């Protein structure tokens, strides 16, 4: 696929199955949470600088915001810059979903010998679709051959031995290895010179914030009680789940899911138009709050047709039990 967009960026459309209202007495819009709750259920789209590791930056963010937990969306080498979403507090439950989303990079590749531009363009065009990759010797994963998808590879400029390209790829793709393999195919050798990540799933460069901006925003809150800046640099965790197919469920079904129950057909109000059996999906309330990460047991058509039966199993609960009232009856003892 060479569409110029990541798999997670394809436009999603909801289909209405049933209508219902939500009670204002329970829950709230992710954008209206009290500031401390907003922090504990938020995400910072950090602009990673050259130098520190992803782990170090995550630790600094945790210290600045006085949190017990924080987790990043996928490691970047110290020399790599760019998009590094960091999930905060309770939002760390969603790290895995974001970590597996597609990535985009701007890469500067250096060829070891000059090659005609038309040959560079022709060979790079061949490096789309599924590719076999062996992780580098120095890497965070076990070294074994694996398949990774390159969604698009666009050569932006070729100047002597320098090649600037934009690459959209599956999570876990090693850009250093991609440059090496392109060099082998060109017959001249090549290596990665510079790299910047420009997208991780739904996060791009348009919402990036620096560590200094985050620190300033927190100081404004502490010293002046001004939370407006902090609400801009910390986004609701739901924005980090926007790339997943969604199910919107009834208020009466929320608490059962929060206690680990699967979601049944009567609990669905609307759903993504293109859900397939086995997909990772996310359940939301009518107010837009994330409830749980699930695995679909039916496709969209089956979910719409069936009035009974389990449509998805709950894999990871996000919302605290008791946020919404119990809508199910316990069996009598």
Locate tokens 């031995």: which residue?
161
Which whole-number Å values give the CA distances from 325 to 49, 84, 130, 268, 276, in the listed order? 45, 36, 47, 17, 31
How many Å from the N-terminal Cα to the C-terminal Cα in the chain? 57
Record the tokens describing residue 312, joined without a space: 């998805």
- Chain mean position to CA 49: 20
Record the tokens describing residue 285, joined without a space: 């309330």
Is 140:172 a contact under the CB 8 Å cutoff? no
Locate tokens 């997909």: which residue?
279
Please, what is the Cα angle at 28 between 24 and 29, to 5 degrees? Answer: 125
Q: How far apart are CA 328 and CA 53, in angstroms?
A: 47
Annotated catalytic residue within 77, 181, 280, 299: 77
Q: How far apart are CA 123 and CA 179, in angstroms?
A: 12
297-304 own/partner pairs: CB under 8 Å, 24+ apart: 299/275, 300/15, 300/271, 300/272, 300/273, 300/274, 300/275, 300/276, 302/277, 303/17, 303/247, 303/265, 303/268, 303/271, 303/275, 304/15, 304/17, 304/271
Is 98:199 a contact under the CB 8 Å cutoff? no
Q: How far apart are CA 285 and CA 27, in angstroms?
A: 9
Residue 32: CB atoms within 10 A of its CB come to 11
Active site residue 224: no
Calculate Rg over the CA atoms of the chain. 22
Record the tokens describing residue 277, joined without a space: 């059996």
Q: Please, what sign has the CA dihedral across residues 112, 117, 120, 124?
A: positive
Catalytic sites, residue numbers = 77
């Amino acid at each position: 696929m060479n569409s110029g967009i990541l798999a997670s960026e394809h436009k999603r459309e909801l289909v209405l199955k049933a209508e219902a209202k939500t009670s204002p007495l329970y829950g709230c819009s992710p954008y209206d949470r009290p500031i401390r709750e907003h922090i504990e259920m938020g995400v910072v789209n950090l602009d990673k600088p050259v130098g520190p590791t992803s782990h170090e930056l995550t630790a600094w963010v945790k210290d600045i915001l006085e949190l017990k937990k924080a987790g990043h969306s996928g490691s970047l080498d110290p020399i790599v810059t760019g998009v590094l979403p960091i999930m905060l507090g309770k939002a760390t439950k969603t790290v895995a979903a974001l970590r597996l989303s597609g990535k985009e990079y701007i890469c500067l590749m250096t060829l070891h010998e000059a090659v005609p531009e038309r040959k560079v363009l022709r060979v790079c065009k061949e490096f789309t679709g599924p590719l076999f990759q062996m992780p580098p010797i120095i890497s965070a994963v076990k070294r074994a051959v694996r398949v990774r998808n390159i969604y698009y590879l666009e050569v932006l400029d070729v100047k002597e031995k320098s090649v600037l390209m934009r690459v959209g790829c599956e999570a876990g793709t090693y850009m250093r290895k991609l440059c090496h393999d392109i060099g082998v195919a060109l017959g001249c050798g090549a290596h990665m010179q510079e790299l910047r990540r420009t997208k991780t799933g739904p996060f791009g460069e348009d919402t990036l914030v620096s560590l200094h901006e985050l620190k300033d925003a927190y100081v404004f809150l502490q010293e002046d009680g001004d939370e407006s800046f902090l609400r801009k640099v910390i986004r609701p965790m739901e924005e980090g789940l926007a790339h997943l197919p969604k199910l919107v469920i009834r208020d009466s079904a929320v608490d059962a899911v929060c206690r680990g129950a699967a979601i049944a057909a009567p609990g669905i109000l609307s759903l993504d138009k293109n859900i397939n059996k086995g997909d990772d999906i996310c359940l939301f309330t009518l107010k837009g709050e994330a409830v749980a990460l699930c695995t679909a047991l039916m496709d969209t058509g089956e979910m719409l047709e069936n009035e009974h039966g389990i449509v998805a199993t709950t894999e990871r609960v996000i919302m605290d039990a008791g946020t919404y009232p119990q809508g199910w009856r316990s069996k009598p003892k």
